[in-house]
Structure 1
Amino acid sequence: MRKTVAYISFSTLMFSLMEIALKMAGGAFDPIQLNLIRFAVGGLVLLPIAVRALKKQNRRLDWRDLGLFAITGFVCVIISMTLYQLAIVYSPAATVAVLFSCNPVFALLFSYLILHERLGRANLISVVVSVIGLLVIVNPAHLTNIVGLTLAVTSALTFGLYSIISRYGSQKRDLNGIVMTCFTFLTGTVELAVVVLLTHVPVVSHAMGQVGFLKQFVNIPVIQNISWQYLPLLFFIGVCVTGGGFAFYFLAMETSDVSTASLVFFIKPALAPILAAFILSEQISLPTIIGIVIILLGSVITFIGNRSKSIRSEMGQPVYPEKEREREPGESLISKVKSYNSNVEDED
């Protein structure tokens, strides 16, 4: 139990400092360059743990696995995390942290739309509550930072999509979370490196320079400003925050369960703005505070629902009692569950 608490505490602290550290590094590094560095380092930090997990499974990666990593790497690193990095440039770190923490809400919606998984009552309520919290923070009636808020919300949305693709792929290919995350990071880094190098090709850079919003992505630097002066900050971002944060999150999952480990993402919306206020002296507006409280309420509802499901599953009771009540006399539970075409593990 002490190990689990330590793992969750470290992971929560690292994830809550993520936007702050990236904001601090933003003045010295290009956003895409920083994205490339941190996922390269983070993937390498996770690699020994992932290799150990594969050996324990007596499993070798094949071309189909690499194809899956190519998809998850593209959605996670190139799309979601690039939008996330740009959101930190245009918005306060605390705002991005809170909005991005809502990505599990989008994951639930994608699981329903794509995988046709059933939304439990608790998660359905959580989605509604979290969306209300998002609207309070964004405040559509008085938008002052359309670009930053759009980038942050789109980043959370696409990360939710990545989560569902990753979970579906890992189940199909029998790959655990640490292996999926590690090779997603490494493959996404390779893909992003190709994109960065393309911006240095004269024909490509000239064409990008003709488009207003693409001008900032011409000749993206690779090693610029990587020096002893910034090495401690890059070490913290790559090794501690990206690599260590995810590593300890998965270690917490191994020593407890998914719902307990997910406390990391439930605490972050409250802790990150406090840290941003102390470290970056960011002002937290009243609507943001109200939105944070509402989102935390939604997170608590999700956590309680997931714990309840986990306990019922361990005790051999139906995960969805209402389905048991609806079962017709003489009809087996298995046939009823099949008729609903649901997955009892639809909410991690």
Structure 2
Amino acid sequence: MSVQNTARWKAVGALALTIIFFSTFEVVSKKITYRIEPMQINYLRFLLGGFLLLPLALADQRKRSVQLHAGDFKSLFWLGFLNVTLCLSLFQISIKYIPASTAAVIFCTNPIFVHIFEAWRGQHYFSRYQVLGLTCASVGLFIVAFHEVMMGSGSWLGTGLAMFSAVSYGLFIVQARQATQEMGSLTVNSISFILGALACIPALLYFDIPLLTFDYGVWPWLVYLTVIVTSLAYYLFLYGLEHLPPGAGSLIFFIKPVLATALAAYLLDESISNLFVLGTLVIIFGLWLYTRKHLQGISSQ
């Protein structure tokens, strides 16, 4: 087997592990959400996860000969606030009010919002298939959200927070692209994780949520979310993207909703209705239509 093929198979394995680890996030969060405040989970996992990625980020900076200036730290603080303090804190809270499977499916629609924001900025134009894909995904999202609330297994608050998180994460991706090109993904994510986590502290203090006091029986799960889901999975994701064709990362948003739903049903005994499955499949079909050119590029290589 050639060196190139070996690297590609390693990248496929890295991406497969990434999908598995990312798919466990909502399930593990739901399991401990009544033993530790959601904002505490978010604060601790990104603070510790950012520091775990920092040595890799510093090594990447030396490799790229990148030096950070005051303006760079302002940009990184804004990205950290948007991603960690706002988007993912609200998403973590949403998991407390809706099933883990519902949260996973809703959040996986964020690639569509990326392109909506790019179109709004004049950086992207929708093709006929993308308009159809956007319509399908929107219909599927409505089916999932409306059904969960009407059946009593979720709430409008949790559903709304998850939707807002998907939208704001799309905005984060758009705004992070230029910074990533200039400073590198590891640097942007490591430092923005840390700054975003620190920006959570005023909110934690305002709502009388302790910074470090909680049911310490959840430490193993918190370590898993920090080391495996936030740090290792992200590193494997970057490795996979470096050695696979463009668009390979899109596969996560097709597989994760299915796998996360299966894990929630098996590990949390969440009931999965036929209408929920239908809505999920409609969303996945919409995402497929939307990213079909990327996926064709992967298959051709």
Please report the TM-score for the alignment, with normalisation by the length of structure 1: 0.78
* Among candidates 196, 213, 218, match of residue 188 of structure 1: 196
**Partner SS state of residue 83, structure 1:** helix
Secondary structure of the corresponding residue to residue 24 of structure 2: helix
* 1:224 aligned partner, one-letter code: T
Matched, 1:134 2:141: yes
**Partner of residue 345, structure 1:** none
CA RMSD of aligned residues (A): 2.2
Q: Which moved more, 1:29-38 or 1:138-147?
A: 138-147
After superposition, the Cα gap between the structure-2 partners of 1:193 and 1:79, relative to the gap in structure 1 and judged at 3 Å, is same
Gap runs ≥5 in structure 1: 200-217, 315-348
Q: Indicate the residue corresponding to 1:272 in structure 2.
A: 260
Q: Choose which of 216, 237, 251 in structure 2 pairs with 1:249.
A: 237
Aligned counterparts of 2:278 and 2:22: Cα–Cα separation in 1: 22
> What is the letter of the counterpart of residue 104 of structure 2?
A
Match of 2:91 among 84, 87, 91: 84
Instruction: Write out aligned runs for 1:179-218 (5 A).
Output: 179-197=187-205, 199=206, 218=207
Equivalent residue number for residue 222 of structure 1: 211
What residue in structure 2 maps to residue 66 of structure 1?
A: 73
> Is the counterpart of residue 113 in structure 1 residue 101 in structure 2?
no
- Once the two structures are TM-superposed, the CA of residue 147 in structure 1 deviates from its matched residue by 1.1
Counterpart Cα distance in 2 of 1:311 and 1:249: 19
Contact 1:70 1:184 in 2 (8 A): yes
Which residue pairs with 1:304 in the alignment? 292
Aligned residue for 1:230, secondary structure, equals helix
* Structure 1 residue 114: Cα displacement: 2.5
C-alpha distance 298-133 of structure 1, shift in aligned 2 (>3 A):
same
14 and 128 in structure 1: CA distance in 2 versus 1, 3 angstrom threshold: same
Report how far residue 299 of structure 1 moved: 2.5
The SS at the match of 2:34 is: coil
What's the counterpart of residue 238 of structure 1? 226
**Alpha-carbon distance, 1:242 to partner:** 1.4
Structure 2: 5+ residue runs without aligned partners?
1-7
| Partner Cα separation in structure 2 for residue 35 and residue 163 of structure 1 | 19
Q: Secondary structure at the match of 1:61?
A: coil
Aligned pairs, number: 291
8 Å contact kept, 1:45–1:244: no
**Alpha-carbon separation, structure 2, partners of 1:175 and 1:125:** 36
How far, CA to CA, are the matches of 2:61 and 2:298 in structure 1? 26
Query: Could you tell me how far apart the structure 1 residues matched to 2:138 and 2:262 are?
Result: 22
Percentage of matched positions with identical amino acids: 27
Q: What is the letter of the counterpart of residue 208 of structure 2?
A: N
Alpha-carbon separation, structure 2, partners of 1:293 and 1:141: 15
Decide which moves more: 127-136 or 87-96.
127-136
> Is the Cα–Cα contact under 8 Å of residues 123 and 305 in structure 1 kept in the other structure?
no
Moved over 6 A (4+): 309-312
| Per-residue deviation, 1:307 | 3.8
**Shift of residue 45, structure 1, vs aligned partner:** 2.3
CA displacement 1:79-134 (0-9 Å, x = unmatched): 11111011100000000000001111111111111244223444333222211110
* Closer, same or farther: CA 120–42 of 1 in aligned 2, 3 Å: farther
Instruction: Specify the alignment match of 1:261 in structure 2.
Output: 249
Secondary structure of 2:208's match? coil
Give TM-score, length-normalised by structure 2: 0.90
Change (3 A) 1:168 1:128: farther
Q: Which residue of structure 2 lines up, in the alignment, with residue 329 of structure 1?
A: none
Tell me by how many angstroms 1:254 deviates: 1.1
